[in-house]
Structure 1
């Protein structure tokens, strides 16, 4: 698949999404095995995120900014032997699994409502973060196995990666709009 004249390694994108999903299941399972530890971890996460605003616009800005920073970290981490995005997707998936468990079991929210709170924006947000990781991996692969001298490979890889990263940020903008304005209404939050 070509996007912005850059060949997107679909297999890598699919595998990053699979790592996220399996890690989310692992986070849910780990939380079920140790509920007290899961609850404490979720409390720390919520403390770091801070309160949700009554203003959808403020929530949109906060969500978009946070997700863009995660995408940037995921993108840059691809330069570390192409491995960083795998760890970031695994970590984020694990955290999502823990949060789902905590909200369901300890918060008493029905699983259907939790899914309505995740799916509308998650179907855009999670692939966007994975695409940022793919962008970093594309950059790394060009540096390692591209044609020309090192500087030329670095520049060409950066251009390819930045095109995909820009698309990732655009998708995160859409996901943040959905998360701030649509998800709360759909999920009844």
Structure 2
């Protein structure tokens, strides 16, 4: 039930939703890159918040440990919660994808405008942990979007209260539990990398 093979197999059952999640993330990235006006102000506030937290963590007695604990708990809790909040018609997972994509797109564009070294930002600052963290978050949101789609179908009566529909819900809920476990494991690995390798590369 909780094996990695089962997790990978489950991903195959939500291929279309995964594609939608990736598309929303990319759309957010594009919006962040070209963002102006109120969107730019929103993203600036997001980056200021991240910068303040980062500064506080760096000033702690054990910065790397503080980074690890914060990153892991922040990402894992949000990712698991977003799966089940997807039941609210998939609105929150979609918003989460757009905002996270926009923050990354805006950060890269802002760095380029300011003449900063994009190689350092992307290859050293984002890639080591992001290659695991970003897919894990997208997968979490994809399950959230799937949850929302099933909730809408149930509300509209597309899924009648028969044995087959109950079984489909049972299978999906099992998939969300398996996904939650492996997403947390992946984010644990990403947090270890970010608080050690990424931290060292950017220090």
* Same fold, TM-score > 0.5, yes or no: yes
Distance of aligned partners of 1:34 and 1:113 in 2 relative to their CA distance in 1, 3 Å threshold: farther
* Residue in structure 1 matching 2:192, options 174, 177, 180: 177
Q: 1:118 matched to which residue of 2?
A: 126
Bigger relative contact order, structure 1 or 2, given CA contacts below 8 A and separation 6+?
2
Q: 1:9 matched to which residue of 2?
A: 14
2 CA distance for matches of 1:141 and 1:157?
Answer: 12
Work out whether residues 128 and 172 of structure 1, in 8 Å CA contact, stay in contact via their aligned partners in 2.
yes
Structure 1 SS opposite 2:163: coil
Structure 2 SS opposite 1:109: coil
How large is the Cα RMSD of the aligned pairs? 3.1
Q: CA deviation at 1:71?
A: 0.3
Work out whether residues 82 and 93 of structure 2, in 8 Å CA contact, stay in contact via their aligned partners in 1.
yes
Unaligned runs of 5+ in 1: none
The count of corresponding residues between Structure 1 and Structure 2 is 185
* Residue in structure 1 matching 2:172, options 157, 160, 163: 157
Work out whether residues 72 and 188 of structure 2, in 8 Å CA contact, stay in contact via their aligned partners in 1.
yes
Q: CA deviation at 1:160?
A: 1.6
- Superposition pairs for residues 48-127 of structure 1, below 5 Å? 51-53=56-58, 55-106=63-114, 109-116=116-123, 117-127=125-135
Q: CA deviation at 1:176?
A: 0.7
Q: 2:29 matched to which residue of 1?
A: 24
Task: State the TM-score, normalized to the length of structure 1.
Answer: 0.78
1 CA distance for matches of 2:177 and 2:186?
Answer: 14
Distance of aligned partners of 1:82 and 1:180 in 2 relative to their CA distance in 1, 3 Å threshold: same
Q: 1:167 matched to which residue of 2?
A: 182
Distance of aligned partners of 1:63 and 1:41 in 2 relative to their CA distance in 1, 3 Å threshold: closer
